[in-house]
Structure 1
Amino acid sequence: MISHATDATDSTVTDEALRSLSGTADPRLRDLLTALIRHLHAFARETRLTREEWERAIGFLTATGQACTDTRQEFILLSDVLGLSMLVEEINGHQVPGATESTVLGPFHMTASPARELGATIDLVGDGEPCVVSGRVLSQDGTPLPGATVDVWQADRHGFYDVQRPDVQPPGNGRGLFTADPEGRFRFRTCVPSPYPIPTDGPVGELLAATGRHPYRPAHIHFIASAAGHAPVTTHIFVAGGDYLDSDAVFAVKDSLVRDFAETDDPVLAQEWGVANPFRHAHVDLVLERS
């Protein structure tokens, strides 16, 4: 029979829990669980966690799981607002100077982006400010990567993704999967993104309210760029001069990812690119690290 000391500071339960992992065949799993148990037990001791607080935490995590659907990932949202998602990105980010910095995936990469031709629009509603995004996918030495894939997704001008308002937006609105040309170039039409609040109608929203935090993200477009022989990068570009760049609810802004969405008055270029003139234009080179 196992007996535990009545004083939590002298309790043997942590040692016993750690010993229970001795038969774990996967060494990485054993290391992860060992660290998790040590830190969770230390947290409980440091805060003198009460039974009521423990029960409330269990209820919160249960509600977080229940809020997840095929098109909503509340646990990723929770990880985002706690800064954990961004920390994992920083730990696993690029090591090569000049490579594009990574940032969070976010909770709305839940459906496959439809394949689209270069220069096509991802704005299927067409009620936002016209914008063209162009760029190149490059290797770390500046060599273009022909055939690289560029997965993009963004909210509409009202700050909602297609999966949030399927009665208003057609499936795939704000999304596109593009293949870079022989010079590594890509281009697509869209609308200028707007700042928006992350979903606040679930447990994560309650957490933000309880801590007095706002739910807003600065205006941005998501990217995942990948090419053979290179590590893919998950990143954003943020609209320069916009609100919330210094207080992103998910801590994902990096200076290197802020881009000018410059107003462009060029009727010839507008006709070539199939967009109304004047329009906004942003350029981004996505630089991948060799794998």
Structure 2
Amino acid sequence: MPQFDDAELTAAVIRSFGEVPDPRVKFLVEELVKSLHDYVRKTDLTFDEWGYAIDFLTRTGQKCTSTRQEFILLSDVLGVSMLVDAVNHRQRNGATETTVLGPFYVGEHKPMPHGTDISAKLPGERMFVQSRVTDLEGKLLAGVPVDVWHADNDGYYDSQRPDYETTGPSSRARFITDAEGKFFFRTILPCSYPIPTDGPVGEMILQTRRHPMRPAHVHFLVNAKGYEPLITHLFMDGDKYLDSDVVFGVKDDLISKIEKRTDATMPDGKPAKSPWHLMTYEFHMKPGAGAGAAPQALGVRPSEAA
């Protein structure tokens, strides 16, 4: 049996993967080994510290359920989700900026008519969202499915509620753009909220003296055939957590100015309860292959987080 010191061991482990048939898999595994071994050497990692790390990862996995993905949350708060997003979307060329999916996407949403109040049963200040989808030259894109979802006035997503299985979806829906690329709906004004802190990820955030807050936002997944799928948020201008989002997801182009209105009617001509808020935004899609599929086929895994 060969005897390895701390430097020779890394080379030996890398050699052990020398026959991996897929070049990309081989590269990924080798780089992972290098990075992990470098971390251990640089930090002089102790047995107790490594044991704590294993226990933390074990508890993270145990916290995952069909409606909660603690590993996505861990990826988010360490900035890994946004880093993966950044390296995969370096050249936007005028397309709308992307950001994290978050852990509360629960798969395909139910299509609803334009103007639907997706938060009809919830308290909160009312908001009208009007938007349209175009390509980079301004061509209006019709028939595009747009999934939307956001937290309620208490900062919870529907899937976090214990009665979710019986009450069903709330503050989430799918809209299909019309012939002019438009879609619109009613909802409530989102508020800033904390990520779940009852698991190992929340424990880490609190123990390291980071705040757990996300600025108020609405999620959008725009999936036009012939274009790159767009996963993004729109953030509320003026939110005090815009500069310190716990998952590092804010981009300047995604901050939406929300108008407070007192008009007796909303933009679709229907009565409004004053006051109300108006969000307006235009999504610009980048051409690409692989779009037009169900979200799961885009690498979007259903989960019930934020």
TM norm structure 2: 0.90
Q: Deviations over 1:9-39 (max 9, x none)?
A: xx31111110111111111111111110001
Deviation (angstroms), 1:274:
5.1
Name the counterpart of 1:73. Answer: 69
CA contact (8 A) 2:264 2:272 kept: no
Aligned to 1:251: 248
2:176 corresponding residue in structure 1 = 179
Q: Give a deviation string over 1:204-244, Cα, whole Å, max 9, x none.
A: 01110121000000000000001111001100000001120
Residue 210 in 1 paired to residue 207 in 2? yes
Counterpart residue type for residue 17 of structure 1: V
Structure 1 position 37 matched with structure 2 position 10: no
Identical amino acids, percent of aligned pairs:
45
CA distance in 2, matches of 1:274, 1:92: 43
Quick one: distance in 1 between partners of 2:4 and 2:134? 59
- Aligned mates of 2:266, 2:206 — CA distance in 1: 46
Name 1:52's counterpart in structure 2: 48
* Structure 2: distance between partners of 1:286 and 1:234: 11
Structure 2 counterpart of 1:231, from 228, 233, 239:
228
Structure-1 separation of matches of 2:159 and 2:172: 11
Q: Which residue of 2 aligns with 1:263?
A: 260
- Which residue identity does 2:139 align to in structure 1? T
How many angstroms apart in 2 are the aligned matches of 1:184 and 1:54? Answer: 53
Partner AA of 2:206 in structure 1: A
Amino acid at match of 1:83: G
- Give 2:294's aligned residue: none
Once residues 80 and 177 of structure 2 are traced to their aligned partners in structure 1, the CA distance between those partners, rounded to angstroms, is 32
C-alpha separation in 1, matches of 2:15 and 2:119: 56
Offset of residue 111 of structure 1? 4.0
Question: Which of residues 83, 86, 93 is equivalent to 1:90?
Answer: 86
The 1:269/1:163 distance shift into structure 2, 3 A limit, reads: closer
- 1:265-287 alpha-carbon deviations (Å, 9 max, x no partner): 22243672454233100011111
The CA distance in 2 between the partners of 1:89 and 1:249, in whole Å, is: 16
In structure 1, how many angstroms separate the alpha carbons of the residues matched to 2:127 and 2:226? Answer: 32
Q: Secondary structure of the residue that 2:269 maps to in structure 1?
A: helix
| 1:58-207 alignment, distance < 5 Å | 58-93=54-89, 95-167=91-163, 170-207=167-204
SS at structure 2 position matched to 1:222: strand
**2: distance between equivalents of 1:30 and 1:188?**
47
Q: Give CA deviations for 1:36-90 in whole Å, capped at 9, x if unaligned.
A: 0001000000000111111110110010000000110000000000000011111
Give the match's secondary structure for 1:131.
Answer: strand
Give the drift of 1:96: 3.4
Give the Cα separation in 2 of the matches to 1:283 and 1:191.
14
Instruction: Specify the code of the residue in structure 1 equivalent to 2:231.
Output: T
Which amino acid in 1 is paired with 2:163?
D
Q: Is the 8 A contact 2:115 2:268 kept in 1?
A: no
Q: Match of 1:177, as an amino acid?
A: R
CA distance in 2, matches of 1:187, 1:268: 14
> Out of 208, 219, 222, which is 1:222 matched to?
219
Question: What is the alpha-carbon root mean square deviation over aligned residues?
Answer: 1.5
Secondary structure of 2:33 counterpart: helix
Tell me, in whole angstroms, the C-alpha distance in 2 between the residues paired with 1:190 and 1:235: 18
Is the deviation greater in 103-112 or in 78-87?
A: 103-112
Amino acid at match of 1:3: Q
TM normalised by structure 1 equals 0.95
The one-letter code matched in structure 2 to 1:104 is V
Aligned to 2:18: 22
How many residues are paired up? 287
